[in-house]
Structure 1
Amino acid sequence: MSQPASEPVSDRADLVSYLDVDVTPELLELALTHRSFAYEHGGIGNNERLEFLGDSILGQAVTVMLFRENPDLDEGDLAKRRASLVSTVALAEIARHIGLGRYIRLGRGEELTGGRDKHSILADTVEAIIGATFLDAGQAAATGLVMRLIEPLLNDPDRFGAAMDPKTSLQELSSAQGRGMPTYVVSDSGPDHDKRFHAIVRLGRDDIATGIGSSKKMAEMAAALEAWTRLTAEAAAPPAAAPDAPAAPDASGADAPAAEQR
């Protein structure tokens, strides 16, 4: 039987290999099932309960890690770092790093509106997978998975700082580049019980990046992180080589073309 059009075309072998945890195919499928898909397929199970569990496991694992590895940080700094690592923006970035979007089972409406790259859907699915790992493989395996997932952020101090406070990071970067202060334009869509906010970040008259979130704040943070990423990449790119200028003719005529020497 062929897959419904709204399901991802990729099998899950690469994802299972990357996660490296012992989760049954049935529970992993549930963790990858968004409520929009469940609704369109007769109200089958979705990943919201697993997401609830995974959120708790994630928070505990990150809290313990930060406490043990940062003995000199006070409560305020620890809380900021934890918030950055468990935020929707950070989890969505982790999901993109492992290519999670293509494995999620989405309803047609979400598929058509770019659901595979929405911060909230990606972040919720990461938490659901953590919850599934806890149920099937236990606390130690779930904690190990959390540590592997957040490792890329921890290994990139600049990125870690941007994920912690993307709006401030973008403001500092744009100011250093002489591009002025970022401004945000936010709109919303959807019913009150499932509203989505869409933010555009601008520098001067230029729209730099966009972001989507479940709140105005989350949408602005998503847009700011995307803008920070783009500006950082542009600054790191080598300048385009200028076209070679034509060589000046030798006054003696020794290097001139033969036709000109005659």
Structure 2
Amino acid sequence: MTQSVAKPSGSSKGDPGGFLHAFGVQADPELVQLALTHRSWAYEHGGAPHNERLEFLGDSVLGQAVTVELFTAFPDLSEGELAKRRAALVSTVALAAVARQHGLGDMLRLGKGEELTGGRDKDSLLADAVEAIIGAVYLSTDPVTATAFVLDLVAPLLDDAERFLDALEALDPKTSLQQEASRRGVPHPAYETTGTGPDHERRYASRVTLDGVTGTGEGTSKKAAELAAARDAVTRLRLPVAQRRA
């Protein structure tokens, strides 16, 4: 597969993709290193490339692989139940659990601020790294190999999906908000998200409105801010009308 993507300069220490050997997968070491490079490290190294583009790609590959697997494995489940399982399995908490299982936190390249504030064990950073690794594998191999890798990677989650379903609302309030929209017969909501501050200390604020009720949230990533806004909106929607605040 001939695809071009910016790679971080300099040689990597050791074998950052060594954990892939257990899956029978080989990936471009530079792409793996890029997948493990957080934007805070990139900022401190002259604006070097970081893993967000690979994360974007990996998120799509992950979603498709899990969707097809669930559709095939559970022929009797409704669309709504399949959506719940998918949301649980690709949630930040679930992917962070995968990252911890394979020690990805120790492999991350982080800026000093993230290092000092426990970035190696932050769910959001770990989940993003898993998605970026999937993107790196996809670019290094082919769609069939990448799909097989995803399914091997999330196999423990598929076997224990109920554990994540029990906490689905907390894990993925965006899905809960979409379900509220479907139940009320209104369009799925759109998020208005803005970021402020330098790249290494960027803060995001998000706002989402459904059926006249607005939720707001903040976070250190766009994803975290939107999850917080969705959670706020769901909470407000379930209050008696007299208790809701704009």
Shift of the 121–164 alpha-carbon distance from structure 1 to 2, 3 Å rule, reads: same
TM-score, normalised relative to structure 2: 0.64
Give 1:97 shift.
1.4
Is the Cα contact below 8 Å between 1:133 and 1:142 reproduced in 2? yes
- Counterpart of 2:203 (choices 189, 195, 213) is 195
| Counterparts of 1:56 and 1:15, CA distance in 2 | 22
| Counterparts of 1:18 and 1:106, CA distance in 2 | 25
Number of corresponding residues? 180
Is the Cα contact below 8 Å between 1:10 and 1:103 reproduced in 2? no
1:65 aligned to 2:73? no
Q: For residues 65-100 of structure 1, give each alpha carbon's deviation from its aligned partner in whole angstroms, at most 9, with x where no partner exists.
A: 111111101110011111111111111111111111
| Counterparts of 1:195 and 1:10, CA distance in 2 | 33
| Counterparts of 2:75 and 2:110, CA distance in 1 | 43
Is the Cα contact below 8 Å between 1:38 and 1:107 reproduced in 2? yes
| Counterparts of 1:133 and 1:27, CA distance in 2 | 8
Specify the structure having the higher radius of gyration (Cα): 1
| Counterparts of 1:151 and 1:163, CA distance in 2 | 19
- Counterpart of 1:131 (choices 132, 135, 150) is 135
Q: Residue in 1 aligned with 2:214?
A: none
Q: Residue in 1 aligned with 2:49?
A: 45
Q: Residue in 2 aligned with 1:110?
A: 114
Q: Residue in 1 aligned with 2:151?
A: 147
- What code does the residue aligned with 2:74 have? N
TM-score, normalised relative to structure 1: 0.60
RMSD over aligned CA atoms reads: 3.1
| Counterparts of 1:57 and 1:143, CA distance in 2 | 7
| Counterparts of 2:162 and 2:81, CA distance in 1 | 16
- Percent of pairs identical after alignment? 56
- What code does the residue aligned with 1:77 have? E
Q: Residue in 2 aligned with 1:235?
A: none
Give structure 1 regions of 4+ aligned residues with deviation exceeding 4 angstroms.
Answer: 8-11, 190-193, 216-219
